[in-house]
Chain A
Amino acid sequence: MSRAGRITRRSFLVATVAVAGGTAFGYWRYREAGANPLTAGPGETVFNPWVILRSDGVTIVAPRAEMGQGVQSTLAALVAEEMDLDWAEVRAEHGPAASAYANLAVAAAGLPFADYRDSRMQRLADDAMGIVGRLMGVQATGGSTSMADAFVRMRLAGAAARAVLVAAAAQRLKQNQLALKTEKGAVVAPDGTRIRYGDLAEEASGIAPPANPSLKHPRDWTLLGKPLPRLDMVAKSTGTAAFGIDTRLPGMLFASVRRNPGLGGGMLSYDATTAQAMPGVKAVVPLADGVAVVASNTWIAFKALETVQITWAPAPYPPTTDGIFAEIAKAFDAAPNSTLRDDGDVERALAGANVLKAEYRVPYLAHATMEPMNAAALLKDGRLTVWAPNQAPTVIRDKCAAAVGLAADQVSVITPFLGGGFGRRAEFDYAVQAALVAKAMAGTPVLLTWRREEDMTHDFFRPGAICRLEGEVGPEGPVALKAAVAAPSVYANQARRVLGLVPPGPDKILVEGLFDQPYGIPNYRVSGHVSGVKVPIGSWRSVGNSHNAFFQECFLDELAHASGLDPVAMRLKLMAQQSPRAAKVVEAVAELAGWGSAPAAGRARGMAFCWSFGTPTAEIVEISQSAQGIRLEKMWIAQDVGLALDPGTIAAQAISGAVYGLTAAIMGEITFADGAVQQQNFYDYDALRMPQVPQFETKILASLDHPTGVGEPATPPAAPALANAVFALTGKRIRSLPLGKVVTFAS
C-alpha cells in the first residue's frame, strides 16, 4: 500500500505528503470522514477521498451506486464545479468500500419526524444520527439521500483541492494568489499564462489545504444547475459499460445457484450425481439453503442445477397468499406500535353518521432489476476480492468477510455499474454466495449469476399491506381521518439482517407517506401495526410511501367525491396552513395539466400527491377507453427538489419513478402457493412497455438552498393518481392492486 493509504487522522487537517509518482494531499477534517482509503497509482495524485489527479484529467470518486439515476455524474459535478474542471476531462468511479464514504443522510432519514415540519428538534436529531451513521460506517445508496449527504462535503473537497493548486501556481509564478483565476482544469495568470492542474501536483504536495475553503455562490455556477452530459452515457450506448455480470478475469469460471423456493427454509439433503457428471461442470457447492454449480460457462451451470435432486425444509410462513394476508390482518388485533400522528380527537370526530370507511390493500412486489443478481469473487493469498453491483459496499465487505472467515480489511469490494437497484441491491445475499463459492474454488475467480427465475422468486419483496381508513368530511373538507396500516416491517427485517438486532422505537417506514403528509386535518390519527409474517422483505423504491400514498391519496379522492369537492382544491385547502411549498407543487401540476378545464370526451384524469424524501411531488394522469382497454395518454409531474443540481437528470428520474409506480399499479403482484413464489419471469411479472407508457411533462420547482431526494419521490403518487383516474373514467373504485385484475389495460 502506498503512503496515501496510510494517511492517518492525526490532526484537524491532514498534511500533504508525497506518494509514488505524485502527490497526495487532503482536505478532510477527521470529524468529517474516516481515513482516506485511496492509494495513488503510478502517475496519480490523490487529493482526498474524492479527488484523484491524473495527467490526462481528474477522476472523482463518487461513492454512491450508479444504478441509473445519474448520481455519479451529479456528484462529480459538485467537485468539478468548485475545482473549475473541464467537464470533458472528468471521470468518475465508485471507489472502494470505506467509512470515509458513509452516507450520513441515510441514517437521518429513518427518524420519526414529518419532513415538512423540519423542526429544530429534527435537525438536532439529524446531527446525532449522522454521527451514529458514521460510526457504523454505512456507505449506502438509498432513501434518495445522496445529494443531501454530498452537497456540502463534495463541494468542500473540490474547493480545497482548487485552493491548493492555486497556491502552488502562485509560488511558481511568484504572483499573488488573488490575481490568479482557474478555468477548465488550469490556473490562469493575468498575463494569460495557463498551468494545467496535472502539472502542479508535484508542487502542491508541500501546501496545506485551507481549513474552511469558501464555496462558490450558486449564481456563479457553470456546471451545476443545468443539464450536463452524463459521464456514463457513451459507455452505456456502446455496450462497453461494465456491469457486475460483465466481470471477466483470466481463468474465470461461471456459477449459478438454486435455493429453496420456500424462502427462509433450509436444505435437508441433495443429490448432485447427474450434475457432477455433466461435461463442463467443475464443482457443486452446497449452501445452507441450496446449491451452487460451478461450470465452464453460465448456461451449463443453469442446466446442471436443474438436475440436482433436493429435499427442502418448509418455509416459515403460511403457504398461500390468502394465508399470508390473513396473518397480516391479525396485526390489527394488537396495539399499534407506531402512532406517529394523533391530532385532535379522532374517535369523537368519527362518531357521526356520515363516516366513510374503506379497506385497501397492496400485494407483495418484486424489484425485477433488469440485470439479475450476480457477483464475482476471488479468494487468493488470504484475501477476498468481491465484484458486486451493490448499494452498500461496507455491508457487502463485512458480510462476505464473516462468511469466509476473514477480517474486513482482508476483503476488497469493487462496485461495477448496477443494472438497476431499486433497493434490491442494498442486500448482500448474492455477494455472500459468490464469496462462499470462491472459498470452495480458492485461487479461481468465479462469476455467479442468478437465473431470472431465481431472481424473481428469491427477492426481498415489497411487503403486502392492508390499510383501514375512516373519514368524515364537512362542508369545507375533511374534518377527521383515521388510518391504520398493517404490514410486516421492512425496517426490522433489514436491521436484523444487517445489524443482527432491531433497535427499539416506532417504525417510521411502516407509516411514512401517511403520517407525514402536509394535510391540516383537525382530527387525524395514523398508526402502524407490525406483522411478523416471515416472507423476506426489503426496500422497494420509495419503501413505505409506495403503499401508503396509494391508501391515503385514493381515500382522500373518495372523500372528495363523496362530498362533491374538487380533489385538487380540497388538497390545496388542507395544505394551505401546513406547507406553501407543497401547495405550490399541487398548483403547478394542476396548471400543467389544465386541470381547470374538462378533459376531452372519453378521457378522464386522476390526481395524487406525496411528500417523500424531502420532495413534495404531485402527479396527474389522463387515460382513455379504447377497444383494447384503458390507455395511458398523458402524465404530468410537478415536484420541488429543493435545489435542482441537474434538471435533465431530475426529469429523467421523475419519469423513471412514475413508470415504475405505474407498472406496479397496473400489473405488479407476487403471489404464493405451496410456500413458493408463483411468478417466474417477465411472462408472468411483466413491466410496462414502449406502446403502453403515456407522454410525460414535468415541472421542476426549486425553492430551497439545498437539494432534496429525486430517485424515489415520483413513484408513490403514480398508483393513486392512476386509480383515481380509473374511478373518474369507469366509476369503479378499486381498492386493491394491481388494477389490471379488475379493469383491462391496452397492451
Chain B
Amino acid sequence: MKLVINGTTHEVTADPDMPLLWVLRDELGLTGTKYGCGVGQCGACTVHLDGQPVRSCLTRLGDAQGVAITTIEGIGTPEKLAVLQQAWIDNQVAQCGYCQSGQIMSAAALLAGTTTPSEADIDAAMAGNLCRCGTYPRIRAAIQDAARRLQRA
C-alpha cells in the first residue's frame, strides 16, 4: 500500500485494518505522533488527512490511502519551525510534552481555517486533546499568539 505522508510516498505492507497510528510509529518510525488511549479520547495521536484533524488511532490504514497525511514532523522541524511552533516555544507551553504533538496538530487545523479564532473556537477545537500536565492556559495563549502572527504575515 502507498501512503503519502508529509509529501513523501511510503510503501507499507500491513493489515489494512491496522490503525494509522501504529503504522506511523512502528512501521515507519515517525514517532512524533503519540499513543495515549487508542480509543479517540485523548487526541495525542492527531494527524491531518487532507488538512482535516483526525485521530490516527481510529483511522484504518486502508482509509489513509490516496489522501495527504500530515504529521507533526510535516508541520515544521527544529531547524525550520512553523509559526505555530515558534509561538509554542515563545509561550513555553510544554511540560512533559507528551500531548503536545497532538495539541499542535489540532491547533494547526484550527488556524488553517481561521486566523481570528474566538475563545469558543479554541475551546471547541481543543476539547478533544487531553493534557495531564495542565498546560491549557499556555496552549490558549500560544494559539492566540500564533493567530496574531499569522494575521500580520
Q: Within the complex, which residue of B32, B130, B140 is in contact with A370, where a contact is CB–CB below 8 Å?
A: B130
- Which chain A positions have C-beta within 8 A of B95? 68-70, 652, 656
Is B29 engaged at the interface, CB distance under 8 Å to the other chain?
yes
Contact B22 A297 (CB under 8 A): yes
Stretch at the interface among A30-38, A237-245, A433-441: A237-245
Contact residues on B (Cβ < 8 Å of other chain), bracket: 35 or more
Is B31 engaged at the interface, CB distance under 8 Å to the other chain?
yes
Q: Within the complex, which residue of A238, A370, A421 is in contact with B44, where a contact is CB–CB below 8 Å?
A: A370
Q: Which of B30-54 contact A (CB under 8 A)?
A: 31-39, 41-42, 44
Q: For the complex, what is the distance from the CA of A505 to the CA of B36, rounded to whole Å?
A: 40
Min CB distance A378 to B, Å, is 17
What sequence of 0s and 1s flags, for each residue 71-99 of chain B, a beta carbon within 8 Å of any chain A beta carbon? Answer: 11101111001000100110011111111
Residue ID in chain B nearest A652 by CB atoms = B95
Number of interface residues of A (CB under 8 A): 63
Is B18 engaged at the interface, CB distance under 8 Å to the other chain?
yes
- Which chain A positions have C-beta within 8 A of B25? 298
Contact B27 A690 (CB under 8 A): no
Contact A238 B134 (CB under 8 A): no
Contact B41 A652 (CB under 8 A): no
Also in contact, A656 and B133, with CB within 8 A (given A246-B31, A681-B37):
yes
Is A235 engaged at the interface, CB distance under 8 Å to the other chain?
yes
Q: For the complex, what is the distance from the CA of A658 to the CA of B134, rounded to whole Å?
A: 8
- Describe A's contact surface by its main secondary structure: loop
What sequence of 0s and 1s flags, for each residue 14-26 of chain B, a beta carbon within 8 Å of any chain A beta carbon? Answer: 1000110010011
Residue ID in chain B nearest A230 by CB atoms = B92
- Which chain A positions have C-beta within 8 A of B133? 68, 370, 420, 656, 659
Stretch at the interface among A148-156, A327-335, A566-574, A691-699: A691-699
Q: Which of B117-153 contact A (CB under 8 A)?
A: 122-124, 126-140
Q: Within the complex, which residue of A240, A371, A418, A657 is in contact with B78, where a contact is CB–CB below 8 Å?
A: A240
Contact B38 A369 (CB under 8 A): no
Is B104 engaged at the interface, CB distance under 8 Å to the other chain?
yes
Min CB distance B131 to A, Å, is 7
Contact B26 A254 (CB under 8 A): yes
Min CB distance B76 to A, Å, is 6
Is A233 engaged at the interface, CB distance under 8 Å to the other chain?
yes
Min CB distance B101 to A, Å, is 4
- Which chain B positions have C-beta within 8 A of A305? none
- Which chain B positions have C-beta within 8 A of A452? 36-39
Contact A298 B92 (CB under 8 A): no
- Which chain B positions have C-beta within 8 A of A66? 96
Is A506 engaged at the interface, CB distance under 8 Å to the other chain?
no
The 9 A-B residue pairs with the shortest CB-CB distance, nearest first, are A239-B32, A659-B134, A419-B98, A236-B97, A68-B96, A68-B95, A239-B72, A297-B26, A236-B94
Q: Residues of A at under 8 Å CB distance from B? A: 66-70, 227, 229-230, 232-243, 245-246, 248, 254, 296-299, 302, 368-372, 417-422, 449, 451-452, 648, 652, 655-660, 681-683, 686-691, 693, 695-696
Instruction: A238-B75, A240-B32 are known; give 5 further A-B pairs, CB within 8 A.
Output: A237-B93, A238-B85, A369-B96, A681-B41, A687-B132
Show 9 residue pairs from A and B whose CB-CB distance is below 8 angstroms, ordered by the A residue.
Answer: A232-B97, A233-B88, A237-B85, A237-B93, A239-B33, A248-B31, A302-B38, A417-B97, A652-B138
